[in-house]
Structure formats: structure tokens, C-alpha cells
């Protein structure tokens, strides 16, 4: 995954649609949260086994929501000046240290 390329493409969409004014860190965090809630909704009321064996249509829908979440997080990192790969690697190293 080329994060820089994805971010450039997102910025192109944002700029073409004049959405920058809406992309404050607060708004992007809230938008990611809404998308996460939409992902959670797919699994609501499913058993553990059902959640692991989604029908093709629901699996595709889950993928779309995951994509939405990641794209909002990319935009959020961009607005905050965070390097997504760096913060993920740092968090993973922290988890490896605490839970290994």
C-alpha cells in the first residue's frame, strides 16, 4: 500500500469538491467514528460464528466500511501532520513490547 499515493488521490478528490474547509481534525475523527458505527451495524445481532462467515454481500459491505474508515484516518493524519505508517509501526512496537 502506497500511503503517499493514496493521500494524494484523496487530496485531489477533496480539492476538486472544495471539501478542505470541512476537513478539520474534529470533523474527520467524527466521520471515521460514524463509519466505524456503520461497520459495527453489520455485525449487530450476529453470533460469533456468523460474524466470521459473512455472506458475500455483507462481506463486500464490510469492506466498503473498512475502506471508508481507513480513508478518513489517512485524511486525519494528513491534517495533523502525522505519518500513518510511522504511528502504526510505533503502536505495533509498543504492543509487541507490552504483550509479547
- Measured CA to CA, the distance from residue 5 to residue 38 in angstroms comes to 26
Q: What does the buried/exposed string (b/e) look like for 18-44 if buried means 16 or more CB atoms within 10 Å of the residue's CB?
A: eeeeebeeebbeebbeebeeebeeeee
What superfamily does domain 3-99 belong to in CATH?
MazG-like (1.10.287.1080)
Domain boundaries, the chain: 3-99
- Measured CA to CA, the distance from residue 67 to residue 65 in angstroms comes to 5
Q: Could you read off the pLDDT of 55-73 as tens digits, one per residue?
A: 999 999 999 999 999 999 9
Q: Can you give the pTM of this predicted structure?
A: 0.94
Q: Could you read off the pLDDT of 19-36 as tens digits, one per residue?
A: 999 999 999 999 999 999
Amino acid at each position: 500500500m502506497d500511503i503517499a499515493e493514496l493521500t494524494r488521490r484523496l487530496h485531489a478528490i477533496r480539492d476538486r469538491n472544495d471539501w478542505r474547509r470541512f476537513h478539520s481534525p474534529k470533523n474527520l475523527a467524527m466521520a471515521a467514528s460514524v463509519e466505524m458505527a456503520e461497520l459495527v451495524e453489520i455485525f449487530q445481532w450476529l453470533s460469533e460464528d456468523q460474524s466470521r462467515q459473512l455472506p458475500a454481500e455483507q462481506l463486500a459491505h464490510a469492506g466498503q466500511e473498512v475502506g471508508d474508515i481507513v480513508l478518513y484516518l489517512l485524511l486525519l493524519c494528513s491534517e495533523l501532520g502525522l505519518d500513518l505508517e510511522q504511528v502504526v509501526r510505533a503502536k505495533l512496537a509498543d504492543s509487541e513490547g507490552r504483550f509479547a
